[in-house]
Structure 1
Amino acid sequence: MAFFTPEQIAILSASTVRVDLLVKLEFRSSTQYLWNGSTDLVTGGQTWKPMHGTGVIDGLSAPTGTAAEAVTFQLSGLPDQATDLLRMALEDKQDATQQLVTVYLQLFNADWQPVGVPIGIWWGFMQPARVTRTPMQGTEGAIQSITLQAENAFFNRSRPPYGRYTDRDQQKRYPGDKFFQFTPSLLFKTFTYPDW
């Protein structure tokens, strides 16, 4: 099975490629489908809400190894947005913590109509959102924005599961084994070897 459809390969092979990023935020309370366009986008069986160019994704790259990476998502100018991301960020920090975020690549034809389904290119786990506000500039007012950082799947993977020399970890590895049960009692104990 090919990763791209023949139609997508033809579009990617053209001299002009029309593409945009779509973001799926799976909050505990609801799932938000967003893109940086100006109208609702129906593709992949979902309706993606427009951010009117106010969304920014920073740190997105094509990983070539197993290094931990962080991607930052920022949305500015919140009061005019159709989504309720500001409410979710302010009311409950746990609504986003360790929840899944996925970034998709969407191809378009010459008439800016979506071609094929969105292609997943990155996913990670959201950290608590931060809301910031710029200083007022004369009559311009201030701009509120939400910044959300997400860590990829390799975040915190250097620590092996149940890799400590404790009774709790040993019970997870080998239930019933009591080898490490007495480890704390051995602290500062003197052993004489060989004992004649």
Structure 2
Amino acid sequence: MVDFFTPDQIAMLSASTVRCDFLVKFEFASSTMRAWNGNTELVVAGDTYLPMFGFGQIDGLGMSGGTVSENVTLSLSGLPGQALDLLSVALDDTPEVDQQMLTIFLQLFTDEWQPAGTPIPIFRGFMQPPSVSRSAMQGTEGATQSISLTAENIFYSRSRPAYGRNTDRDQQARSPGDKFFGFVASLISKTITYPDY
């Protein structure tokens, strides 16, 4: 069985100071783009992540352990110099974005802020059509244009009949008293040895 974290990553995550950032991979229909919130281009495992200069934001990341459709929202506000041509790709052609894959990684860094190890995938989902908003002008300050993009996790659009999910609640509705799915939540990230002699 392959461990999710390498021993080096576990050691870094166990330290009193953990240096990390998010990396995002956009798999548009015609091309793949990568971005991170730093100030320079970042090369990790042979892939180049373009800078967002701190103007990017990710909302909704978390761990539920359930089989529900969850989403994260990525937003970008007033990025100067637009090194990453994300806005035009997202807005020019909705099919370029709609239902295409997006992956968010956690990248660990050394004390000198150099990438350490490979990126750790923490979310993968389907991009939805983007939306654009514009803030009101504040005195002499101009308005800021923002784009937001929502991505639904892999359970998006996977409907099943009533009591068709592998959850304790549905199992109790099918067979009251059956505890077969009662411990699913406790099995997350658990190592199971098979066969166990």
Indicate the residue corresponding to 1:180 in structure 2.
none
Measured in 1, the distance between the counterparts of 2:90 and 2:80 equals: 13
Assess, with a 3 A threshold, how the Cα gap between structure 1 residues 112 and 49 changes in structure 2: closer, same or farther. same
Structure 1 segments unaligned to the other structure (5+ residues): 161-196
Question: Secondary structure of the residue that 2:9 maps to in structure 1?
Answer: helix
After superposition, residues 29-68 of structure 1 pair within 5 angstroms as 29-68=30-69
Instruction: Give the deviation of 1:2 after TM superposition.
Output: 2.3
Please list every run of at least 4 consecutive aligned residues from structure 1 whose deviation after the TM superposition is greater than 3 angstroms.
none
* Identity of matched residues, %: 61
Measured in 2, the distance between the counterparts of 1:134 and 1:66 equals: 36
Instruction: Give the deviation of 1:108 after TM superposition.
Output: 0.6
Indicate the residue corresponding to 1:112 in structure 2.
113
RMSD (CA atoms) = 1.6
Question: Which amino acid is the alignment partner of residue 21 of structure 1?
Answer: F
Structure whose CA Rg is larger = 1
Q: Give the structure with the higher percent helix.
A: 1
Instruction: Give the deviation of 1:50 after TM superposition.
Output: 0.9
| Contact kept in structure 1, 2:55 and 2:79, CA below 8 Å | no
The normalised TM-score by structure 2 is 0.77
Question: Secondary structure of the residue that 2:26 maps to in structure 1?
Answer: strand
After superposition, residues 151-190 of structure 1 pair within 5 angstroms as 151-159=152-160
The normalised TM-score by structure 1 is 0.78
| Contact kept in structure 2, 1:89 and 1:130, CA below 8 Å | no
After superposition, residues 2-41 of structure 1 pair within 5 angstroms as 2-41=3-42
Measured in 1, the distance between the counterparts of 2:145 and 2:32 equals: 22
Measured in 2, the distance between the counterparts of 1:79 and 1:145 equals: 12
| Contact kept in structure 2, 1:68 and 1:151, CA below 8 Å | yes
The number of residues matched between the two structures is 161
